[in-house]
Each structure stands twice: as structure tokens, then as C-alpha cells.
Structure 1
Amino acid sequence: MPGRTVEVRVPATSANLGPGFDTLGLALSMYDELEVTALEPGTYEIEVSGSGAEEIARDPSNLVVRSIAHVFADAGIAMPGIRLVARNGVPHGRGLGSSGAAVAAGVLAAKGLLEGIVELDDEALLRLATELEGHPDNVAPALFGGLTIAWTGERGPQHKKLLVHRGVSPLVLVPGYTMSTKAARSLQPQHVPSEDAVFNVSRSALLIAALTQSPDVLLDATDDRLHQDYRAPAMPETNRLVRALRAEGFAAVVSGAGPSVLVLCDGPGSRLDAVRIAETATDTPWIPQMVAVDVRGGTVRERAEGSSSQS
């Protein structure tokens, strides 16, 4: 195994999508790209560039390295040393699944390094990633792409991947400030009114139909009463932008725990209209990212032989 190098590519993700709290996730075409080489045990060489590079650990506490170690420990295989070269294209601290991408990247890198020694199927990949991330809503689309419904059943974390209607054009509006997922979750109440729970059940069901068959109902389908209003005081500019866009008929939601805003537009032209609204709706500048839905998910291949393995 020492000397084996694998290349990993993992997309950004947007979780919740409005009403689908901790359940729905969408893979988006912004990527972390990594090269991981197995070295002699105890040796760690870590290079990071791109988003969040200045804050990322360069030792075994690095989240990608910890994720690789978790897979090796689960398989009962001694952990090798690691050389990691990471180019981060997924914005950090913006509600676009950067930690889920790091976990998914580590799990996929381990799969590539262990190829021919231990075989990891999709269910094992999702289980291992969820053990690290704590919930599957971000790691499922990061691993498998597309629109994913994630849940935990008797066999552990599970997912269903769906293809998004070609009429849906995602737009991400990224602010200059960050938001801690832990801080956002701390604002969430332990109990909600039953009518709000029923409201979200109906909207979540409608959202699946909207994203896969009927984009014309996306505005109603992305309404939410479970989390966004509770978190609004912590990110007022995000809340103001979401409300401004929705008032103009755009299906805008907080992306994950925020503070980025995801707009599910009905075509490329309407994305430009949404960007124009964002330019004047708040005092905060927003960087528009006109992305596509990533349908492939995370990939891993061995560089030396050019062989590939995809989850």
C-alpha cells in the first residue's frame, strides 16, 4: 500500500432545501479536489489551498485524515502515513457542506487506498461517513450526487438518490461572513407546534415532486416552519435576502445552516434576475455562483494505474 496515490473529487452540497430539515440534500458543481498518497506509518505531509486553507490542520487532526483513519480502524487495517494535497473549492463556513465534503473525501480516499484489500459498498461508505459527520443529509449527496433523501433505519443510515428536473437551475449566493453549524443548531427548539410539523411534512412531500417533476410549484414547496425562522436572528442579512427573493417569486432558502442562500430558479435567465435582487436587497455583498446539480457525486481513482472507482 505505501506509495499508492488516489485522486478524489467531492461536490459541495446544500442540505434541508427549506422544509427537508436533516433529510434532503442536493449536490452542487463546486468541488474539493485531493491527492492522497499512502506513506510509511507515522508520516504526515499535508498541503491545503483554497477556501479555509489558513484554518485547516496540517497534522493527524485534519478532518480528511481523521476520516481516512476511521475507515482503516473500522476495517481492522493499520493506518499508513498520509501525504494529502487538497484544493478546496467548496466555501468553508457558508452552509455548503464543507465538513461533509471533507468527510466524504476521506472515506472515498480510504476506499481507494484499500482497493483490493477491503471492498466498501455504498451502504458502508454512507455508514462510515455518517458516523463521522453525525447525520447523513450532507454526506449522502456528497458521496452519491443528485438529490438525496437520507434517513436512518434498522440497517443504519440509508439514502435514495433522485434525478432533478432539467428545468431547475440552482443559484448560490455566498456572503463574506461565516456561520457555525453548531451555533445555528443551538437556536433550534426541542419541540415545535404540531401544525408546523404537519406544514413541513406537506411541503417536503411537495418539494420532491417539484424538484423531480414540477418546478412550477417550487416556491410553495420550499416554504419552511421548522428551522429557518428560529435561526434568522443569527444571520439577519441572510433572512432579509431570502424574504426579498421569495417576495418576488423566487424559491429561495437558507443553504444548510447558512449563511449562504440557495435559489432554485426555473431557468438560467431567472438566475440573473435573482442576482439583481441580491445586489440591492441587503447591505451585504453576495457572490453569485451559477452552479449545476452534480449528478455523479464523489469519485476516487488510483492515479498510477488510471483505474477508477466511483460511489
Structure 2
Amino acid sequence: MVLTQLPAGTAATVRVPATSANLGPGFDAFGLALELRDEVRAEVCAHGVRVEVEGEGAGRVPLDERHLVVRVLREELTAAGFAAPGLRLVCRNVIPHGRGLGSSASAIVAGLAAARALLAAAGAVSETDEAVRERLLVEATRYEGHPDNAAPAVVGGFTIAWTRGDDPAHPAGVRTVRLEAHAQVRAVVCIPVEELATSRARALLPATVPHADAALTAGRAGLLVHALTAEPALLLDATVEKLHQAQRAPAMPRTARLLARLRAEGLAAVVSGAGPSTLVLTTPERVGDVERVAADGWRVLACPIAATGVSWSPAGG
């Protein structure tokens, strides 16, 4: 396959929100975009790869072809029949790594969006915003294996995502709906120092669950849609689930203890993604209660729900 080289100097800037998946009962389906954004500036160079990282991950992530954004960006260009002779990436990261806030999904979406923006900047493609986002969702799901983090990173807001046929191995049928959260809902994340690999958390899940637990969780997932969009007073009841949080507790005992304390105070706390961060869905007057309960050993951030997903500028501005 002969690839067309993009001209040196072609540049793009991409900004991607953090995400919180599951939201309790919406396991592998529900997600929320948070106004905490990584920024990546990508520029085509004559040769070589240079990656600069500021903030989260600095000094820890690879600064060459192994960098996740570089890998995804190059693969997306290749799929379109193009190549970059060299790349310079400047990554300004604020999304914590390994904490259940969608950092890997955000990096994947950033790489995909940067590739499409570079192609557009070079005049190689002309695509509608809707077409780009549909492709980003499908390809990000292919990398991630499931769309719960990819969907809010791509479209923003509160999302419900699924694959037609319920087969994540064939994500061409990935779909999502974006819903508006109630104006009074606030998202507060409690971030610990320790990290947890998603693969380790997922390995703790049982192969089967009792029918009663599945039925309860399905009912609360339906209630959560109503609570998040129309009646925040029901958030505590709506975030009960029986499929994954207790099963993963041995891998994050401090998170489990904080979760119990927050819920005992009437706060709708859940594990954020695979953890170990905790997400609290609450109202403005109770944000201070979250800060009080999680005072010691936790970084507490009140994050607005991001109204938009990934954004990109083909000119690099």
C-alpha cells in the first residue's frame, strides 16, 4: 500500500474531556463527560517523533512511537491512505492516569481526532462533524473494547452506548444517545494517590451473577436515567447496583470504605469506571459534604458535566 505523505507544517489541536463510566448500575453502558480536558497539539514534521508531556504522566509515559496518541494517530492516517513523515506532539494532560477517569479513552479519542483534523488541514478529506464523531466512536470502541468511556469523550454529556448484537468484538454497530443532565446535578470526583489497572479490576468480576442481582441493577439503571435528567432527589436510590463494585472492592479497599461513608451520608457515590476514584452525583448545596467526608487522603474536584465532547482545530489554534 502506497501512502500519501502529509506536508510538513500541517498542524491540529485537540481537546478531550475526562469521563466517568458505569455510574453505578449502568455497567459498560453509561458514561458522563467531565469538564477536565487534556490538550494535544500535533504537527507534521520532516522526520522523527518528538513527544512533549506536561502535567499528568510526565516522566512516565513513552516519548516516542510507543506513545498511545502517536500509535493511534499513525494507524488512523494509514487507514485513510496517508502518512506523516515525522510528528511533534505537545500533550498538556490534566486527566489523572489509572484512576478510572477515562485517560486511556481520552488519549485514543485524541489520536483519532488529531488524525482527522490533520487530514482536513491538508485538504485530504472533507467530512461533516457528525461523520467524524461517528467514526471516532466506532474506532475508539475498537481500541477500548466497549464504548462506555468512548461515547462521552466523543459527544459529551450523559451518554448511553451500546453495540448492535451486543458484541463488542464487532463495534461497527456502535451507537450512543446523549442526554442532558438536570441543571442541578453536580459531579464531584474523589481521586486517591494509588492507581488501579482496568485489567486488574475487570479480572475480579465473576462469570455469572444471580438473576435477582441482575434484575435489581437493570431496574436501578432505568431509574438513574430519570434521576440524572429529571429528578436528582432520586440519585441515591438510582445508583444502587449488584454487578461490579462489591466484587472489585478487594482491589481498592480505601475506595470501598469511602463509598460506604459517602452513601451513609445520603450522597449518591459510585466507583468511577474501574476505580479507584469515586464519583459523587449530587446537588450544589451538598458539594461541601463530599469535601468534608473525603477530607483526608483524597483530592476532591467538583467538575462540571462537559456539554461537549472532543473538539479539534485543523489550523492548530
Alignment TM-score, normalising by the size of structure 2: 0.91
Q: 1:34 matched to which residue of 2?
A: 40
Establish whether residue 291 from structure 1 lines up as the match of residue 303 from structure 2.
yes
2:18–2:37 Cα contact (<8 Å) kept: yes
Q: 1:309 matched to which residue of 2?
A: none
2:190–2:278 Cα contact (<8 Å) kept: yes
Q: What letter matches 2:26 in structure 1? A: G
2:45–2:84 Cα contact (<8 Å) kept: no
Q: Report the CA distance between 1:79 and its aligned residue.
A: 4.1
What SS is found at the alignment partner of 2:293?
helix
Establish whether residue 117 from structure 1 lines up as the match of residue 124 from structure 2.
yes
Establish whether residue 52 from structure 1 lines up as the match of residue 52 from structure 2.
no
Establish whether residue 3 from structure 1 lines up as the match of residue 9 from structure 2.
yes
Q: What letter matches 1:74 in structure 2? A: A
Q: Report the CA distance between 1:2 and its aligned residue.
A: 2.2
Q: 1:128 matched to which residue of 2?
A: 139
What SS is found at the alignment partner of 2:14?
strand
Establish whether residue 217 from structure 1 lines up as the match of residue 234 from structure 2.
yes
What SS is found at the alignment partner of 2:307?
coil
**Aligned partner (choices 25, 28, 43) of residue 31 of structure 2:** 25
Structure 2 CA distance for aligned equivalents of residues 199 and 60 of structure 1? 46
**Aligned partner (choices 89, 94, 102) of residue 97 of structure 1:** 102
Q: What letter matches 2:111 in structure 1? A: G
1:70–1:128 Cα contact (<8 Å) kept: no
Cα RMSD (Å): 1.3
After superposition, residues 119-198 of structure 1 pair within 5 angstroms as 119=127, 120-153=131-164, 155-198=172-215
Which sections of structure 2, spanning at least 5 residues, go unmatched?
1-6, 166-171
Q: 1:278 matched to which residue of 2?
A: 294
Deviations 1:186-216 (A, max 9, x none): 0011111111111111011111111111111
Structure 2 CA distance for aligned equivalents of residues 183 and 108 of structure 1? 29
Structure 2 CA distance for aligned equivalents of residues 28 and 5 of structure 1? 26
Q: Report % sequence identity.
A: 48
Q: 1:230 matched to which residue of 2?
A: 247
Q: 2:20 matched to which residue of 1?
A: 14
Which sections of structure 1, spanning at least 5 residues, go unmatched?
307-311
Divergent runs of 4+, >6 A: none
Structure 2 CA distance for aligned equivalents of residues 127 and 69 of structure 1? 17
Structure 1 CA distance for aligned equivalents of residues 59 and 205 of structure 2? 30
- The number of residues matched between the two structures is 299
